[in-house]
Amino acid sequence: MSEILFLLTLVVLLVFVKNIKYRIVSSGVLFLLVLFFQHLNLNIFFAWMLVYVGIFVLDYINQNLVSSEIKNIKLRHENAKEYCSKSEVKLVEIEQFNKQVQKEVTKITGFFEISKELTKVMYLQQLTPVIAEIVKGGFDVASLGVLIFDKNKMHNILIYPDKNIIDFKENIEVSPSIDRDNIISDEESGFYNAEGLEPLLVKLGYVALREEMYIIPLILEGRINGFMMLEDLSEDKIDLAHTFAGFLALTLRKIKLYDKVQELAITDELTQVFVRRHFRDVYHGELSRAKDRNDEACFLMLDLDKFKSCNDTFGHLVGDVILKETAKIIKQSVREIDIVGRYGGEEFCVFLTETKLKDGIYVAERIRKTVERYTFRAYDETLKITVSIGLSLFPYDARDSIELIEKADLALYYAKRKGRNKVIAYSVIK
């Protein structure tokens, strides 16, 4: 009975007493009490005590292992929490970076689309629909206006994306009171009060004008050649607007250069009339229309009298002035619908559309008399010169374009033979 009681007491101590010091002290006191009161056999109780000590040691070792494992688990848990916290921060940073990258990609894509669309534009008339597509696709503005200055005239593009209004006005007279170089200060972009521009903008079709507009100057060759104006432009679109304005300025320069190249390709640099090749292209087209409409038309071939002698006497620079002034007289003597060209050397040609013989002779005589009366002043020289003119009539003298020229040339040759400074119609000599 004493052994059983002793063992039960040891089990209770082992199970319920967790503190190692209390467990050692309690076990020792229990052992001494049992030994003192029961007078038990020491060998038996020492054997049980050794068993208990063994179990106690094993339990102690197990508790230390479990405690160490728990500490390790807690440490790993804290490390995991810290890592997760850092990962969350990283994820937020990555998300912000991705948003920034996406924003930059969107911006670059917008730049590329603007550049790609504007690259296609070669003429001013092609610009309006392209700008409208760019504005609708990349901007959220109430309106966009582009003013383009061209000498003493101006072109205007006006777009209201929400209302689907697209308007293009060409060759608008610019008031002398508008100083394009001082509309905005120091050529700086920004939000400006539109008061100074309001009379012009209202004239151009702007309605419900805001107090402020974001204005970007379009700089060409070091001078303000226009403005891009945006209503209700958001802050995040300002960079895109400036890029758009930059591409637009380059496009306007390209249009200007292309017009110049086209002009040089079809216009004689000295006299500013059509070169022979382009004259013949336009002449063929007009003659075809005359055939279709059964209209009459006159072809004039003009040649300056004794021009070679003038060149030999006064020099080619003086001769160039005479050619230039003669071309000016010819252009002033005919209608805008008539075609004037330099046929070669001192020869000019004119095609008078929808013109009867008597009217053609009248125009030719007006040219001849004006040249005869005109005093040419070139450098230090003052001189007079005359012109001989041959005329052929479509369709009576010829129906073929080349033959019509040849008949006019024959009439010119006849005028030269008859003493120069004359107008001769082919119908007179045939």
- The two structure tokens encoding residue 114: 């603007």
CA distances from 358 to 233, 268, 329, 428 (A): 63, 30, 20, 13
Q: What would the mean pLDDT of 114-118 be, rounded to a whole number?
A: 73
How confident is the model at residue 41, as a pLDDT? Answer: 57
Q: How far apart are CA 52 and CA 59, in angstroms?
A: 10
Least confident of 24-33, 132-141, 418-427: 24-33
pLDDT tens-digit series, residues 271-317 = 999 998 889 989 999 999 999 999 999 999 999 999 988 888 888 88
Which residues, listed in sequence order, are joined to residue 312 by a DSSP beta bridge?
none
Q: How far apart are CA 169 and CA 157, in angstroms?
A: 7
pLDDT tens-digit series, residues 340-389 = 999 988 999 999 999 999 999 999 999 999 999 999 998 888 899 999 99
Mean pLDDT rounded to a whole number for the chain = 78
Any idea which residue has 């056999």 for tokens? 41
One-letter amino acid for residue 330 of the chain? I
Cα 64–chain centre separation: 76
One-letter amino acid for residue 248 of the chain? L
Q: How far apart are CA 126 and CA 130, in angstroms?
A: 7
Angle 330-332-337 (CA atoms, 0-180°, nearest 5)? 90
- pTM greater than 0.75 (yes/no): no
- The two structure tokens encoding residue 410: 């024959």
Nearest alpha carbon to residue 187 among 212, 214, 219: 219
Find the Cα–Cα–Cα–Cα dihedral 308, 312, 313, 319, rounded to 10°. Answer: 60
Nearest alpha carbon to residue 250 among 282, 279, 225, 272: 225
SS3 403: helix
pLDDT tens-digit series, residues 134-190 = 787 777 788 888 888 877 778 888 888 888 888 888 777 766 555 555 555 445 666
SS3 287: helix
